[in-house]
Structure 1
Amino acid sequence: MEWKNDIEWKVYTSDKRIHLMRDHNWAFAAWEIAKLEGKVSEKSLVVHVDSHFDDVTDGLLVKGLHDAKTKEEIIAVSRSFDRSLGQVPPSNIMHIDNFIWASVGRCTIEEVIHVSRDKLELNELSELKQPYTDKLPSGCNYRTQLFVNCDSFFEAYNHKRFSEYAGGRTVILDLDIDAFNNSDTMSEPELVPENKVRKYIQELLNLYSWDLITIAISPDYCGGTEEAVYLLNIVLDEFNLRSEDMVRW
């Protein structure tokens, strides 16, 4: 469990198509570096499977967001803070819940399909005010869809319908394995049964030939380290991956 106490732990497969990370803010770095390397294009579609929306709009205000041009600069912008230390973080840094709007601000993301049981309201483009609107790219047409669980998502989209909907866009699967914990009480997890976790992962893998896949562990929100290890092992098994075979970055 190399990732247990390391908020910067992140690895990818040799082809850089699948990224696995402890904390979800690193999805931003994976997306932006993939765009830099030509693996995804501007105005990509993201399917965000997560217990939380992660759509806090102050991601648009992260220091250095719009100036980052190199891989090293993107990684620097993506760094968050160690929540376990009880520190009060600066207001203009990347967090585990604002990275989506950060990529919207860089024109990397055009649409997010949320598969989430989050009870909050999604932040919509039409509701933004200054200074957030000043940080959006020209002609921004960001939009969202919401499905409250995997079952309703797969009822709406099969492989054919989703491929048609994606059109010519590059498409990212963004999975937080806390999606398989149905409890909002950190000390009392309610994990989805293993057979259902496997079924959902298989359906996601069969839905589309994803251009990029980002997977966050988010151990606190899985219910703890033990629960995170349990869920992660199921997910990696279905992806036919071993984290020790992946490359640290």
Structure 2
Amino acid sequence: MKKVKDMDSSWKIKYPEQNIYVMRDHNWAFAAWEIARLNNEIKPGATLLHVDFHDDYCEPLEKVTKIETRDQALQIAKDLEIFEFIKAAEGTGTIKDVFMIGDYNQPPREVFHSYTYNQFENQYRMDFFKNEKESHILDLDLDFFNLHAYQGIERNYDNNPFRYSEEYIKYHLKRFKQYYVEGDWDLITVSISPEYCGGDQTSQEIFDFFLEVFELEYEKFINW
């Protein structure tokens, strides 16, 4: 596998056995969800848990209504900004209800928002998993673990990281993994987002923690 410093903007892999899609840039999550729907890995109208330092909940410049092929999904994702992919997937009907965990000053009104994982556990977990017939997606941006990820602070873009401790990061990753072990996640998408993690080194460290906790270090992956 490539190191983060060698990944270009289109880098993305999948662990087929685990149904985990990993990408450098978050706009590719749109394609992952659409391809998963086309492959019957998830059902339309999936419930999403978006865990990210940013809400990424902006309308795409051009309306997206229907995706019928893998190539179409990839092309649309390529053209999306990194903050447009959730709304785009709502437009196609692939995503229905959106839950978020992130410390946003003004969280979107249309979503079920938690500032912390504990708040999600205590307030929304039962609502999130209430319908077993729906598909459930975990969408994790690794910049969630960098306190300097706020894009409005220009000096922190691609530098000046303030990473949480290894213990803190692994603790939260294990909590997300518990639902994977219990079979509650139908799909997991992970964005590395090196610029918002504070640079290649910090994002590599967090990515390595993810691979370790989810036991993917030696698993076979494919490019997609």
Q: Shared topology, TM-score over 0.5?
A: yes
Q: Which residue number corresponds to residue 102 of structure 1?
A: 88
Please give the secondary structure, in 1, of the residue aligned with 2:55. coil
Q: Which residue number corresponds to residue 227 of structure 1?
A: 202
Letter of the 2:37 counterpart: K
Once the two structures are superposed, residues 190-237 of structure 1 have per-residue CA deviations (whole angstroms, 9 ceiling, x without a partner) of 111111111111111113520000000000000000000010000110
Deviation at 1:151, TM superposition (A): 2.5
Q: Which residue number corresponds to residue 20 of structure 1?
A: 22
Letter of the 1:118 counterpart: Y
Distance 1:75 1:172, change over 3 A: same
Q: Which 5+ residue runs of structure 1 have no aligned equivalent? A: 80-92, 125-143
Moved more, 13-22 or 115-124: 115-124
Deviation at 1:120, TM superposition (A): 3.5
1:175 aligns with 2:140: yes
| CA RMSD of superposed structures (Å) | 2.0
Identity %: 30
Which one of the candidate residues 35, 38, 41 is aligned to 2:40? 38
Q: Which residue number corresponds to residue 117 of structure 1?
A: 103
Once the two structures are superposed, residues 45-76 of structure 1 have per-residue CA deviations (whole angstroms, 9 ceiling, x without a partner) of 000000000001126x25xx335411111111
Show the 5 A alignment for 1:133-152. Answer: 144-152=111-119
Q: Which residue number corresponds to residue 55 of structure 1?
A: 57
Scaled by the length of structure 1, the TM-score of the pair is 0.78
Aligned-partner Cα distance in 2 for 1:14–1:230: 23
Q: How many residues align?
A: 212
Q: Is the 8 A contact 2:15 2:219 kept in 1?
A: no
Deviation at 1:78, TM superposition (A): 1.0
Scaled by the length of structure 2, the TM-score of the pair is 0.87
Letter of the 2:208 counterpart: N
Which one of the candidate residues 195, 201, 205 is aligned to 2:177? 205
Q: Which 5+ residue runs of structure 2 have no aligned equivalent? A: 151-155
Letter of the 1:155 counterpart: N
Once the two structures are superposed, residues 102-127 of structure 1 have per-residue CA deviations (whole angstroms, 9 ceiling, x without a partner) of 00000011111100112234163xxx
Distance 1:244 1:10, change over 3 A: farther
Moved more, 70-79 or 28-37: 70-79
Q: Which residue number corresponds to residue 153 of structure 2?
A: none
Q: Which structure has the larger Rg?
A: 1
Letter of the 2:147 counterpart: N
